[in-house]
Amino acid sequence: MYNEPLRPQFHFTARAGWLNDPNGLVFFDGVYHMFFQHNPFDTKWGNMTWGHAVSPDLVHWRQVENALHPDRLGTAFSGSAAVDWRTTTGFGEAGVPPIVAMYTSAGGTSPESAGQPFTQSLAFSADGGKTWEKFAGNPVLGHIVESNRDPRILWHEPTESWVMALYLDKNDYALFTSPNLKNWTRTCDVAITDTSECPDLFPMALDDDPAHVKWVFWGANGCYLLGAFDGETFVPEEGPCRLDSGANFYAAQTWSDIPEADGRRIQIGWMNGGQYPGMPFNQQMSFPCALSLRSTPAGVRLCQMPVREIECLREDSVIRTDVALLPGRLLDALASELLDIEAEIEPWRAKAVEWSIRGNAIRYDAEKHLLSCCGKEAHVDLAGGLLRLRILLDRTSLELFSGDGNVGFHQCFLPDAANPGVDLVAHGGEARMRSLAVHRLRSAW
C-alpha cells in the first residue's frame, strides 16, 4: 500500500476510496489536522463522509478514523474547523479547549435524509481531534436558498465573535456572526463573478507589513477579492483576481490556528480531475503552500510557494550555474519520478525556452511574455531579466510556480513510460541558465 504505480508519493491521497475537498483544516497541540470529503466505499463520488488525516509536518500524513458520517439530516458536505480557545460553545471539558467543526448537512443526498434541505451543523472534539461528537441541537443554521453550503468559520478577535462565510447560490455568498457558533446573524452579502462554492476568508499583511492588512475573500475555483473587513461587513477593493492558472486546483482552504510564532497562512487544495485507472483510491490533494500578499506590476496579488517542510524529503541534488542553452541543445536529461526544481533562466537571445517534464511541456515565450504549462497559459513579466521557476514533480502531478508564486499551475497527468526524463531547450537563440538546483525526493510514505 502507498506504492501502487499511480500513487502520488508526496501528495496526500486516501488509503482507498474517493477524495475531494479539503475540510476542517486546523492545527492543535503540534498536529496538523486535515479532514476531507471522502467516499469510504467506492472510488466514485458519493456517501459524503469526513475523512481524517494527521501530520506533524505537512508532509508525512497518517489517515485515521473517519470523523463525520451521514445521518438523518444528510451526508456530511464540506466545512471548516477552529479551536474554541474561549470555550464559547460550552463544548468539551473544563480546561481543554474543544476543536469545533461546522459542516453542511446535505439533505436529500441519501435515503435516510430524503426530503431534508441543505442546512449547517456543528460537531466537536474534546480530545484534540481523536473522536468527534455531533451537536444535539443541529442544524444551527437553517436552509436559506438552494443548496447553500460549505461554511467557513473563523474567530474575529477585535469584535470577539465568530464569523462564518457561506456559499448560497450562483455567484453569491453571505457572512454571518455569532457569539457561540450556535446562534447566527446575517451581516453581509458578497458576490464573486464566475465563482461558486467553498469560501475562505482570512487577513494577509501586504508585503509583510503588519500595519497594512487586507482581507481575502476566496472562492472554490481560485478567484478571490481583496478588501476590508470589520467583523461584520466585507468591502471589496480589488478583484476578482485568480491565484492559479492550471487545470487541476479547486476548493482550496487555509489552516486555522497556526501559531503566531509561525505566522504562515498555509493552504491546500483538491487537484480535481486527475486520472488513476486501476487504483484503489481516486483523486489527490495539492502540496501545501504558504501564501503571501505582494505588490506586483499588475496590482496587489496573492502568491503561493511550497512550504519549506518539503526539504525534509530531499535525497540528493544537482546544482549548476551559468549554463549556456543553445538552440536545439538539451540540458542533460534527468530521469526521476519525484523532483523539486529551482531554476533562474535568462532568455537573452532566445525567443522561447521550453521544458519537457515526463512528456509535459512548460514553455516561456519571451516575445509575448507568456508562460504555458500543459496547454494553460498566463502572462509573466521577467524580474531583472530572469525567469524564476519552482517545479514540483510527483508520479501523477506537476506544480509550477513563477517569480514569488504570483503565477502558478497545478496539473495532473498520466505518466508516459516513453517520456521518463526532464529536458530543457532554447528556441531561436541562446539562453542562459543562471542557476539550477534539481533535488531528487524520497517518498513521504
pLDDT tens for 265-311 read 999 999 999 999 999 999 999 999 999 999 998 899 999 999 999 99
Return the C-alpha torsion angle 314, 317, 322, 325, nearest 10. Answer: -100
pLDDT in tens, 333-372: 567 899 999 999 999 999 999 999 998 999 999 999 999 9
256-271: average pLDDT: 97
Cα–Cα distance between 210 and 218 in angstroms, integer?
Answer: 21
Q: For 9-18, 211-220, 426-435, which range has the lowest pLDDT when averaged over its residues?
A: 426-435
Terminal CA-to-CA distance of the chain, rounded, Å?
A: 9
pTM of the model: 0.96
On whether the CB atoms of residues 246 and 289 are closer than 8 A, the answer is: no
Give the per-residue pLDDT at 328: 66
In the chain, where the domains are located: 17-306, 312-441
Instruction: Give Cβ neighbours of residue 438 (< 8 Å, ≥ 6 apart).
Output: 317, 318, 319, 334, 339, 340, 341, 422
Residue tagged active-site, from 21, 84, 150, 394 = 21
What CATH number is given for 17-306 in this structure? 2.115.10.20
Count Cβ atoms within 10 A of the Cβ of residue 44 and give its class: 0-12 exposed, 13-18 middle, 19 or more buried: exposed
Identify whether 21 is a catalytic site residue: yes
**Residue 311, SS3 per DSSP:** helix
CATH class of 312-441: mainly beta
